[in-house]
Amino acid sequence: DQQVKQNSPSLSVQEGRISILNCDYTNSMFDYFLWYKKYPAEGPTFLISISSIKDKNEDGRFTVFLNKSAKHLSLHIVPSQPGDSAVYFCAASGYGGATNKLIFGTGTLLAVQP
Amino acid sequence: NAGVTQTPKFRVLKTGQSMTLLCAQDMNHEYMYWYRQDPGMGLRLIHYSVGEGTTAKGEVPDGYNVSRLKKQNFLLGLESAAPSQTSVYFCASVTGELSSTDTQYFGPGTRLTVL
């Protein structure tokens, strides 16, 4: 039972254009959402997060949108750069009490073409 | 400040052999986690610890044991390795409640192959 879903295994965009990565979740107890970026042979690194009390959070070129009624969040990267090419994982927290446990999606491989 | 380190980086085992993966963090974090990453599966939580001397099961704990004798170290053990445990293992830690300035920090991973 996949509680956090990333239905697009891969995405290809042109440099300078917008990248939109999507994530859906099923558990309404989740109250905090994160995006991690992962390069090959490295550990995931934190990118941006959003609390369930907000619907948007922006950090430079990265914006995360949360639609609680649809149980959907998205990551927008504008403008996309070749260095953004990586696997992006969506993660959710809030279901395990004070344990900070995360449930991860399966990831989306983003390829930004020069 | 090395962050989160993992030892070893690579290992090949034969079925039935045992081994221990070491995770160390120098950030004085309370919470530590072990994940495995498999193709098409994302990261799945194996075991976690909310403080020195504590451990708890995650989503996929079978076949693994853990110990947190020291706050900075979190060990993952495989008593009798099986081919299904071939995976990339990541350790992570966080100091407290998740926020925009405090999140899980990951180690570089250990690639384990069980023949």
Of all residues in chain B, the one with the smallest CA distance to A89 is B42
Flag whether residue B33 sits within 8 Å of chain A, measured between CB atoms: yes
Residues A7-55: tens digit of each pLDDT? 999 999 999 999 999 999 999 989 899 999 999 999 999 999 999 999 9
pLDDT value for A100 = 79
DSSP 8-state secondary structure symbol assigned to residue A78: S
Compute the half-sphere exposure of residue A77: CA atoms within 13 Å on the CB side of its CA.
25
Residue of A32, A44, A93 with shortest CB distance to B106 = A44
Residues A59-75: tens digit of each pLDDT? 999 999 999 999 999 99
- Which one, of B33, B8, B3, lies nearest residue B20 by Cα? B8
Averaged pLDDT of chain B:
93
- Give the whole-angstrom CA distance, residue B91 versus residue B108: 8
Of all residues in chain B, the one with the smallest CA distance to A58 is B100
- Which one, of B51, B46, B24, B18, lies nearest residue B108 by Cα? B24
CB A98 within 8 A of CB B98: no
Residues B56-98: tens digit of each pLDDT? 999 999 999 999 999 999 999 999 999 999 999 999 999 877 7
CB B105 within 8 A of CB B16: no
Contacts of B47 (CB under 8 A, 6+ apart): B33, B34, B55, B56, B57, B58, B61, B64, B65, B66, B76
